[in-house]
Structure 1
Amino acid sequence: MGMFKKTGNASEKETRRNEKVKNIMNEPQVPDGLFQKCEKCGEIIYAEDIIANYYICPNCNNYFRIAPKTRLSMVLDKGSFIEYDVNLPISNPLDFPGYEAKLSHMKSVNNLDEAVITGEGKICGASVSIGAMASTFLMGSMGGVVGEKITRLIEKATEKRQPLILFCCSGGARMQEGIISLMQMAKTSAALKRHSDAGLIYIPILTDPSTGGVVASFAMLGDVILAEPGALIGFAGPRVIEQTIGQKLPEGFQRAEFLLEHGFVDKIVKRSRLKQVLSFLIKTSMNPSYESLYEEEQEETTELNEFL
Structure 2
Amino acid sequence: MPAVIEVRHLHKGYGSTVAVDDVSFTVQQGEIFGILGPNGAGKTTTVECVEGLRTADRGEISVLGLDPRRDRAELTQRLGVQLQDGRLPERLTAGEALRLYASFYRRPADPGDLMDALGLAGKRRTPYAKLSGGQQQRLSIALALIGNPEVAVLDELTTGLDPQARRDTWSLIQDVRSRGVTIMLVTHFMEEAERLCDRVAVIDRGRVVAVDSPAGLTERLRDGRRIRFRPSVPFEDALLTGLPDVIGLARSGDHVVVTGTADALTAVTSVLARNGIVAQHLRVEQPSLEDAFVALTGSHSGAGPGGAPGAGAT
TM-score, normalised with respect to structure 1: 0.32
Return the structure number with greater relative CO, CA threshold 8 A, min gap 6: 2
TM-score, normalised with respect to structure 2: 0.31
